[in-house]
Structure 1
């Protein structure tokens, strides 16, 4: 099995385990609360912003975005030597958008390591995207998007 297949299998196992775990809880995943708790585990000031009425209805979306935020915070602390990270969440009709930036050292060019590659692959696995802007001396900016699942079609009823 090549490296990309191994990563894909690992990500799929991770998502399946999370969904199984969510099925066994009565309250589901409180995305905002999980992010706040995550922010308390890193040696950074984490500023979270949610657009009015922000919600996530898909446990898979929640999990992927939570792991994306976790990787952003890890990279900012470990590689960028940032002191602060801003995570802004917005839900549009067709997608959820996470805009992140830090006050770290940035980079002239970017080499995708395991963390950024994994983030991009995890987002792509559910139809999402990741755009990265390395700004030398001005931190790193990322934009992650995840499509909003279409509502189920109703069968019968109104004809």
Structure 2
């Protein structure tokens, strides 16, 4: 739920802390048992490897996170490695910094209660380790309180960042919904005005011209001499005007706002989320079908803004004689089990009401994809 800058800042802070621990162990003197030094470095190396693997998987540099490399599994490896390193040499006090580092990914991936429980376990490990090597009570309490406070502070900062990110995502989703509603309302108002004008032209001007043409038709048979030619020309002009009015009325009634322009107004400028929109409109789409497609695109974008933590949203729409096919996807976190909320349920009902079909697919680290077909 963090932004890219926040994620990188958190990762860089972790790397700095790990470098400080390694440098202190290498050049700051070894206070622990000599026979434990090799094992300590092994545990520290395992911690670093798991931390780096989690960061690389989160960054998406190498593509979506593999299913066999969940964040919580790597967190468990880090916690175990930190506990082993600490228990091997509690005299090396800076090893406890590893517990502070683990508090950050824990706050990112675990519920608050689980994060608090993990911090409690790590504080107890610090206290037990220091007591095992014969430290006095004051030192035991001081180290436990110090590193416990560091862990709590790190977790609170991350949780506050998560909450702010969630609020920003909710605000972005609300903004997208408002823009979509405004765009659809404007389109509806324009369509209603075009319909009103077409009716006025048909009922007032069209009927008047029809009556005029009929009167001139009668006049052609009654007028004799040079005036007959002028009346005939007037009748021809009236018929042409009547044809023009009918043509304009037909255009106004049949004019359908382009699907692509409507979609761009709804999803083209999502706050904080790049959108790749592709529309291929081989045949015009009826207003009713266009409304279904636009509403579904709006809901899928809103769902991504609220829940996915994505860096990219793609929307591909194709309108053919058979109907409209829409495919939307993001590169967000995904999930093992999709539980459609009110939004996706309403989307499914909207499509099914016009005889269409909907299919969703998602997986951890592989984002969310929706495909729907609206028949012509």
TM interval, short-chain normalised: 0.7 to 0.9
Contact 2:256-2:285 at 8 Å conserved across structures: no
1:81 is the counterpart of 2:250:
no
**1:7-156 paired onto structure 2 within 5 Å:** 21=189, 22-25=191-194, 28-39=256-267, 40-51=269-280, 53-148=281-376
* CA shift for structure 1 position 100: 0.9
Whether contact under 8 Å (1:54, 1:89) holds in the other structure is no
For the 8 Å contact 1:97–1:145, the answer to whether it is kept is yes
Distance 1:140 1:127 in 2: 23
Q: What is the CA-CA distance between 1:117 and the residue it aligns to?
A: 0.2
Alpha-carbon distance, 1:23 to partner: 3.7
More strand per residue = 1
Residue 20 of structure 1: CA displacement? 6.4
Give distance in 2, aligned partners of 1:68 and 1:42. Answer: 18
Q: Residues of 1 paired with 2:277 and 2:330: CA distance?
A: 12
- In terms of fraction of residues, the more helix-rich structure is 2
Consecutive unaligned residues in structure 2, runs of 5 or more = 1-183, 195-251
1:75 Cα offset (Å): 0.5
Secondary structure of 2:302's partner?
Answer: helix
Alignment size in residue pairs: 132
Question: For the Cα contact (< 8 Å) 1:77–1:83, is it kept in 2?
Answer: no
SS of 2:334's equivalent? coil
Give the conservation status (yes or no) of the 8 Å contact 1:55–1:91.
yes
Decide whether aligned partners of structure 1 residues 81 and 95 sit closer, same or farther in structure 2, where only a CA change above 3 A counts: same
- Answer whether contact 1:101 1:142 (CA < 8 A) is retained: yes
| Higher relative contact order, chain-length normalized (CA < 8 Å, sep 6+) | 1
Secondary structure of the corresponding residue to residue 276 of structure 2: strand
TM-score, length-scaled by structure 1: 0.74
Unaligned runs of 5+ in 1: 1-16, 149-159
1:132-155: CA deviation from partner (whole Å, max 9, x where unpaired): 00121110011011001xxxxxxx
Aligned Cα root-mean-square deviation (Å): 2.3
